[in-house]
Structure 1
Amino acid sequence: MKKRTSVQFYSSRSARQQPKSLLLVPALRVEKLSHDGRGIAYWQNKPVFINGALPSELVKVDITSSRARFFEASVTTLIEPAPARISPECEHFASCGGCHWQFVEAEQQLLWKQQAVIEQIQRIAKTEVETVVPVIGSQPWGYRHRARLACRVVKGQLHLGFRSSQSEQIVEVTQCLTLVPQLRQLLGPLQDRLSSLKGKRSIGHIDMAQGDTALGIALRLVKPLPETDLQQLEHWATQHNVCVWLSYGPDHELVPLRAEQPETLFYSLYNEEIRLNFLPTDFIQANPYINEAMVKQAIDWLQPFAGGALLDLFCGIGNFTLPLAKGTGADITGVEVSKSALKRCLHNAQLNGMTNVTTYQADLSVAKPLPRSLKGKEFSGILLDPPRAGALEVVNQIAELKSQRVVYISCNPATLARDTAVLVKHGYKLLKLGVLDMFPHTAHIETMALFTR
């Protein structure tokens, strides 16, 4: 049953920092959502992007920013709520900068995410999708296997939690519904232990992660901790069966706290046939349930075959590289800017007995980024999984590689649409498009697109 006991509004940090508007704005009817999850209404012939508003709602707003082509606003009064609005589950919803779509029914979240991607493709890329595949959904809570905690000491008191939606302050959390239970249960004991350290002011932030068989945290330090603190941390880590790494200095190298702890964490893919080692500071997908489905769908769409060659751009530690190489006989080339990630990728390939993986280091955000050694090579398929900025420079070079299939995994519908326009210009058509709900209760949209020619 839907819970409608109260109405709370999420407001972005940027909106809350703006002064109160003196503009007298009438009640606005929200018509649709932007790709970043804000409601869109219209006033004075300009769009108004409204934090905390849903389509069909009638709201009173405060204008937080007035631009030449649009306004930005936040809800002050909800006059007519949308049928999809529900009460948030989390007690920190109104202040935490995290899951700001908790007030939307889960099924409606998926529908609006899919609509947002298609609208961006149509509007920016000026093309249509031949097949929109069903959304791959996630369990709504307890899905997150990694997180970064902010840390700050104010008047001698350590505050540990997530960034506030309203300021740079930290919202202390002793429970987070999105975290897997093992990490969630660690929040309170971790806060207690760190608060007692003499060198707690040296802690910048904390990365925490769950592997298949162990929990791990990495403390980013501005200077080393005193020996007494290290002893207390070691006792705590042993008591709670947690692997702890310390990081300080310009190279951010991680040093294990205990000699007897594992060198790394790991997660598995393909029913534990593939093992990928990682550290809490490495980039891995936070939602392993969606990641497993995403990897399988990417392989299905790329159709690797023995004797073929595939190019994995933004390959990281090998999340797609290794599954593509496993059992297909195809030669896989991975390209990544991070030296540490490439080192981890090659180590993971060796760990899994794979000899058909080659890697190159290259900054894929610069003009003509692909290594010269790849020129003239033909790849039967290309996979790219760029950051939010997209892969504009790379897609301008993809046509030269003569690949028939390109799988593009995106975390930003706007840059996906922009890059789609470039691929279409080079003769590709958008054959398939599908949304993956990597982060339920947020406006974050993970999308997979298949281009063919």
Structure 2
Amino acid sequence: MSEVFHIESLDLEARGVARRDGKVVFVEGALPGEKVLAGITRRKSSFDVARAEKVLVPSSQRAKPLCPSFGLCGGCAMQHLEPAAQVAIKQRVLEDALVHIGKVAPACILPPLHGPTWGYRHRARLSVRYVNKKGTALVGFRERRGSYVADMKECLVLPPHVSAMLVPLRALIGALSDPRSIPQIEVAVGDATTVLLLRHMAPLTPADIDLLKIFGQEHGVSWWLQPKGPETVRPLRDEDAETLSYLLPEFGLRMPYRPTDFTQVNQAINRTLISRALSLLGIEPDDRVADLFCGLGNFTLPLATRTRAVVGIEGSKLLVDRAHDAARQNGLGERTSFAVLNLFEVDVQWLRDLGYFDRVLIDPPREGAEAVARALAALAPRERPKRIVYVSCNPATLARDAGILVNEGGYRMQAAGAINMFPHTGHVESIAVFE
């Protein structure tokens, strides 16, 4: 039975939030301020889930989704909301997390970072499934409410040339000797090349290899293959081994990487983010800077162009080796040093043993940097870095760590702001600065 709901807010899955007799109801397809007719699809003890059937009073921020697969495909959740409103909601999520989880509030709110809203996704993992009944392969993202691969023929958040390959990829997979053995294709779009990484559970035949080569020539892509674990990844052609990279023109850097390495999906935002992080750090030419969770050196190398010494620390030896090579190739070997260390298990003595740092940049995964925050908070005042910039992909763990730095370490949270790295999704990236 359908009911009328008044939508109060939006959650990070882009579901409208309403209340009925004191119980929260998440309404799919509804926006804040709207009155909708919706039917309950799932009941839980603490909340219900409903789906909007008719919008009775629409929001002024409602937009017409451009992608024909929106609502079915699980890749996007917010195409029905104006991009500016998406950013405002993410900013509010960040502020709420800081207040309610960390018990902190920034002295000022940074203008949100946002850029292209379409064609921005330079990294993607496309699922593949051969459907016997249809006699064809599906290539794309999984459906929003299930494990099936969405029957999509284009994707507007992928670069146009990658979106245009979705249908040809179906035909290619269907022509392989064992199309059921292909579970996924990873996409990595660099500044000079596009890589498609084919995961295959059965050996490829010579005829399969020929089909891949022909497809690569026709569509201008480089194929990489992964028959087993990540250690088996290799290019189909040896000459493609060093072609994948992204440029950071402001710093005169070329950053080489492999298709399985972590890089930001949105290169336009990544460039802006690096500039903002360095500006917020306020680095001086004689500073010694630590880049924690440094990965490939995405921040380390730009930092090294502006100051005398940068120490990059990361838990993955493969990434550290890659960062070290990139520093050498870019002529920054003397200004950079790298170490492999599990940053989830560090303490204040470890931090002291590294020596004094004028500035620290932290860019952790979703788990955050609790051990690092506690080590920084435990330093004596004279030992503390002058400024810390924290780049986060999870507002909850940023808020927790900010609470440690401020409430236990005596730092002041000078500023914080949202980063719309993933337009049309509920993913919230952010940046904060502490003094």
State whether TM-score is above 0.5: yes
Unaligned runs of 5+ in 2: none
Please point out which of 257, 263, 269 is paired with 2:236: 257
Aligned position for 1:19: none
1:286 is aligned to 2:265: yes
How far apart in 2 are the matches of 1:370 and 1:338? Answer: 21
- Classify the secondary structure of the residue corresponding to 1:423: helix
Q: Partners of 1:316 and 1:416 in 2: how far apart?
A: 19
Letter of the 2:400 counterpart: R
Distance 1:37 1:423 in 2: 31
Provide closer, same or farther for how the CA distance between residues 436 and 229 of structure 1 changes in structure 2, counting only shifts above 3 A.
same
The match for 1:432 is 415
Gap runs ≥5 in structure 1: 1-23
Q: Is the 8 A contact 2:230 2:260 kept in 1?
A: no
> Taking structure 1 as reference, are residues 371 and 259 closer, same or farther at Cα in structure 2, changes over 3 Å only?
farther
Match of 1:66 among 23, 26, 44: 44
**What does residue 170 of structure 2 align with?**
191
What is the aligned partner in structure 2 of residue 103 from structure 1? 80
Structure 1 position 116 matched with structure 2 position 99: no
Taking the aligned partners of 1:260 and 1:108, their CA distance within structure 2 comes to 45
| CA deviation map 1:168-202 (0-9, x unaligned) | 00013332111112222222322222221003222
Matched, 1:93 2:76: no
Q: Which amino acid aligns with 1:120?
A: A
In 2, Cα distance between equivalents of 1:283 and 1:301: 24
Q: Give 3-state SS (helix, strand or coil) of 2:150's partner.
A: strand
Counterpart-to-counterpart distance in 2, 1:306 and 1:400: 27
5 Å-filtered alignment, 1:205-244, equals 205-244=184-223
2:278 alignment counterpart: 299
Tell me what 1:11 maps to.
Answer: none
Alignment of 1:130 with 2:112, yes or no, is: no
Name the CA distance, whole Å, in 1 between partners of 2:137 and 2:153: 13
Residues 38 and 420 of structure 1, relative CA distance in 2, 3 Å threshold: farther
1:158 to 2:140 alignment = no
CA deviation string 1:290-335 (max 9, x = no partner): 1110000000111222332211122111111111111322x21212
Instruction: From the superposition, tell whether residues 152 and 48 of structure 1 become closer, same or farther in structure 2 (CA, over 3 Å).
Output: same
What residue number does 1:56 align with? 33
User: Does 1:388 pair with 2:366?
Assistant: yes
State the TM-score, normalizing by the size of structure 1.
0.88
SS at match of 2:240: coil
The 3-state SS of whatever aligns with 1:193 is helix
* 1:246-300 Cα deviation digits (max 9, x unpaired): 1123343321111333424011103461010012221111111111100000001
Distance 1:270 1:66, change over 3 A: same
- Using the alignment, how far apart are the partners of 1:318 and 1:101 within structure 2? 32
RMSD of equivalent CA atoms: 2.2
Q: Give the Å deviation of 1:36.
A: 4.9
User: Over residues 148-168 of structure 1, what are the superposed CA-to-partner deviations in whole Å (9 max), with x where a residue is unaligned?
Assistant: 110122326322111100210
Amino acid in structure 2 at the alignment position of 1:38: R
Pairs aligned (count):
426
The CA deviation string for residues 346-386 of structure 1, in whole angstroms up to 9 with x for no partner, is 11111101122222222333x43789476352211111122
Give deviations 1:100-139, integer Å, cap 9, x for gaps.
1000112211222212211221222222221112122212
Structure 2 length as normaliser, TM-score? 0.91
Partner AA of 1:42 in structure 2: R
CA separation of 1:183/1:328 partners in 2, compared to 1, >3 Å: closer, same or farther?
same
Residue number among 321, 327, 336 corresponding to 2:306 in the alignment:
327
Match of 1:442 in 2: 425
Distance 1:108 1:325, change over 3 A: same
- Corresponding residue for residue 9 of structure 1: none
Which secondary structure state, in structure 1, belongs to the residue aligned with residue 125 of structure 2? strand
- Flag the 1:71–1:115 CA change in 2: closer, same or farther, 3 A: same
